[in-house]
Structure formats: structure tokens, C-alpha cells
């Protein structure tokens, strides 16, 4: 069982807050079973630019963007002490049973099920919620570089997944890792509960 799926927004990779966040997640992984779903960050920006430049179809851009998430996942796994990359829910469970933080590279998982529309309207937020629901996680926490519901931004598909994902959905500010710690340790007043 996963206590929380943490989606780390790729935009956090552009500032000074990513390393302190990763260190806090490593410490939290000692007492919570945590799985990370990476955003796309600068890697997805390249996909978007090249997709536009070459007029690529939606499916090609979708799968390239998922691979961009996997690239950011490798970066995160290197920054989070005691983290390991995984590609399936079974590998995730084994990783958590070994008291490590699982960084889910979602391409293989998504390609096998193909559960989401191939569109830029679907972001890593929806992917994290789908994974959290599929894995029966207790909650999904979107770690953003901005506050509250404003952090939901461009993912118009997220609300459509609500019925299928029985887990709670939260947003916390990644620039303040203590909020994530308080939320995971039981302080429901931290972060913004979406549902």
C-alpha cells in the first residue's frame, strides 16, 4: 500500500527549492511509504517546442511528454537519497517494502494501459492521480511552485478522473517542504485539499 503519491512539478526544477524538497522527501520516506510521479519540467518544454516546430501529432507528443517525465524522474532519483526508479506497481511495492522512496517512471505503466487522452490538456497531474487511483494510494499530493487551487492550472482532465480515483487529492507548495511534512504527518490544515 502506498501512503502517498507525490507528484513533483517540473517547474520546481527551475529554482533553488528542488534540492531541499528532495532531502525532506528522503527523510519522510523513512516513516511513510512514498511514491514519486515526476512532472516533465524542462524536458517537456523541449517536447512542446519540437512538437510545434515539426507539427507532430497528438499521440507522438503525448508519449514524448511521458518520456520527458521519465527523464525528470531519473534526475529526482539521483537527488533523493534512498530513492529508486521503478516502472511497474509491483516494482513500486518491492521498493517500498525495502524502505526506499519509489520514483515511478510512468511510460511503461501508461503505455500498457493507455488510460488517458493524448492531449496537452492531460498533464502529469492527471497521470499522478491515475497512478494513485490504480495503486489504491491513500492520497495524491501535487507539489507545485504556487499556492492552492491556482496550482491546478492547465490540466483540464484532472476532474474527470475524480470518480475513478478513491484517493484524496492535495496541493502543497514545494517551496515550503515543511508543509508536505506536516500534511503527511497528519496535519490536515496544511496544503489545499482539492477533494
Q: How many helices (H) and strands (E) does the chain have?
A: 7, 7
C-alpha cell at 70: 521519465
pLDDT computed for residue 150 by the predictor:
52
Q: Give the span between the Cα atoms of 50 and 133, in whole angstroms.
A: 32
Q: Give the span between the Cα atoms of 82 and 70, in whole angstroms.
A: 18
Q: Give the span between the Cα atoms of 133 and 183, in whole angstroms.
A: 19
pLDDT computed for residue 154 by the predictor:
61
pLDDT computed for residue 19 by the predictor:
97
Domain boundaries, the chain: 4-193
**What is the signed CA dihedral for 74, 25, 158, 195, rounded to 10 degrees?**
170
Residue range 4-193 in CATH 3.40.1160.10: yes
pLDDT computed for residue 177 by the predictor:
94
pLDDT computed for residue 165 by the predictor:
75
pLDDT computed for residue 195 by the predictor:
86
> Mean pLDDT per 10-residue run, the chain (195 residues)?
96 94 98 98 97 98 98 98 98 98 98 96 95 96 75 71 83 94 88 88
Amino acid at each position: 500500500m502506498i501512503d502517498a503519491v507525490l507528484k513533483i512539478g517540473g517547474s520546481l526544477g527551475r529554482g533553488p527549492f528542488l534540492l531541499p524538497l528532495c532531502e525532506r522527501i528522503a527523510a519522510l520516506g523513512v516513516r511513510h511509504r512514498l511514491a514519486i510521479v515526476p512532472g516533465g519540467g524542462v524536458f517537456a518544454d523541449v517536447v512542446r517546442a519540437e512538437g510545434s516546430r515539426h507539427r507532430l501529432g497528438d499521440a507522438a507528443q503525448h508519449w514524448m511528454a511521458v518520456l520527458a517525465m521519465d527523464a525528470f524522474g531519473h534526475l529526482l532519483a539521483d537527488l533523493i537519497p534512498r530513492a529508486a526508479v521503478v516502472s511497474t506497481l509491483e516494482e513500486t511495492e518491492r521498493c517500498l517494502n525495502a524502505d526506499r522512496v519509489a520514483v515511478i517512471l510512468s511510460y511503461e505503466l501508461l503505455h500498457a494501459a493507455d488510460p488517458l487522452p493524448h492531449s496537452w490538456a492531460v498533464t502529469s497531474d492527471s497521470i499522478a492521480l491515475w497512478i494513485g487511483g490504480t495503486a489504491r494510494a491513500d492520497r495524491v499530493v501535487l507539489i507545485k511552485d504556487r499556492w492552492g487551487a491556482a496550482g491546478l492550472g492547465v490540466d483540464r482532465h484532472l476532474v474527470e478522473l475524480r470518480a475513478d480515483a478513491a484517493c484524496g487529492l492535495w496541493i502543497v507548495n514545494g517551496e515550503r517542504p515543511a508543509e508536505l511534512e506536516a500534511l503527511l504527518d497528519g496535519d490536515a490544515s496544511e496544503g489545499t485539499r482539492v477533494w
